[in-house]
C-alpha cells in the first residue's frame, strides 16, 4: 500500500510518500515540501500549492492520502491557511477517487513515538529510524508528512480512531456494493 502524507500549510506544505503494509516496516518513496510565495495573494498561493499537490498525486499514485486534521489555534490566519490547504489535498484526492483519512497531531505522534505529546525533534528522530534514513527528514513539515503516512499505514482497520473515508470518496457503485455486503451480513 502506498500512502501520501500531507502536513498542510500555506507557506510550507509537507509531503511524504511511504510504501508498506500494516504492521510491517515502511519504506520511503519520496519526501518534500510544496511552497508558495509569502508575498502573493492567498488565491495565488493556494493555486501554487494545489499544482504541486496534483503533481505529487500524479507522480506517486498513492492508494490513500493522510492529511493532518486542522485544530484550533490562537492565530486565525494560520489556521485558515492550514485548513484551506487541507481542503485542497482532500479535493485533489477525491477527484482521483483516492480514500482520504484525517489524523490528529497527537494521534500521529503517538503512532510514531508512543507519546501523543512528543516534540517535533522526537518525531523527526523516530521517522528517521522507522524508515531507516541516514539523515533526519527536514524541514519538520516533511517529517510530519512522513509521520502522517506511517500513522495511516499502521492504523488497523476498524480500530478506535482508525482512518475514516472522506464523505463522497466512494463511487455510487462502491456504496451500493458496501450496502449489499452489510445487508448480506445482517441476514446471515
Catalytic residues, by residue number, are 7, 68, 141
List the beta bridge partners of residue 15: 6, 32
Residue positions counted in the chain: 188
Cα distance between the two ends of the chain: 31
Answer yes or no: is 63 a known binding residue.
no
State how far Cα 56 lies from the chain centre: 12
Burial of 28 (0-12, 13-18, 19+ CB in 10 A): buried
Answer yes or no: is 7 a known binding residue.
yes
Q: 128-132, long-range: CB within 8 Å, 24+ apart, which pairs? A: 130/25, 130/26, 131/18, 131/26, 131/27, 131/28, 132/25, 132/28
Binding site listing: 7, 68, 141
Binding site listing for Mg(2+): 7, 68, 141
Amino acid at each position: 500500500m502506498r500512502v501520501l502524507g500531507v502536513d498542510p500549510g500555506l507557506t510550507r506544505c509537507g509531503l511524504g510518500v511511504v510504501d508498506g503494509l500494516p504492521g510491517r516496516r515502511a519504506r520511503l518513496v519520496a519526501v518534500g515540501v510544496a511552497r508558495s510565495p509569502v508575498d502573493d495573494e492567498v488565491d495565488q498561493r493556494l493555486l501554487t500549492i494545489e499544482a504541486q499537490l496534483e503533481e505529487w498525486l500524479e507522480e506517486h499514485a498513492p492508494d490513500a492520502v493522510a492529511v493532518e486534521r486542522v485544530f484550533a489555534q490562537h492565530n486565525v490566519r494560520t489556521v485558515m491557511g492550514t485548513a484551506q490547504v487541507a481542503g485542497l489535498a482532500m479535493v485533489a484526492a477525491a477527484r482521483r477517487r483516492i480514500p482520504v483519512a484525517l489524523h490528529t497531531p497527537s494521534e500521529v505522534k503517538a503512532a510514531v513515538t508512543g507519546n501523543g505529546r512528543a516534540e517535533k525533534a522526537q518525531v523527526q528522530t523516530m521517522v528517521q529510524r522507522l524508515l531507516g534514513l541516514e539523515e533526519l527528514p527536514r524541514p519538520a513539515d516533511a517529517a510530519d508528512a512522513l509521520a502522517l503516512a506511517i500513522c495511516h499505514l499502521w492504523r488497523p482497520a476498524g480500530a478506535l480512531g482508525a482512518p475514516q473515508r472522506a464523505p463522497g470518496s466512494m463511487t455510487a457503485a462502491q456504496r451500493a456494493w458496501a450496502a449489499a455486503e452489510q445487508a448480506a451480513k445482517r441476514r446471515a
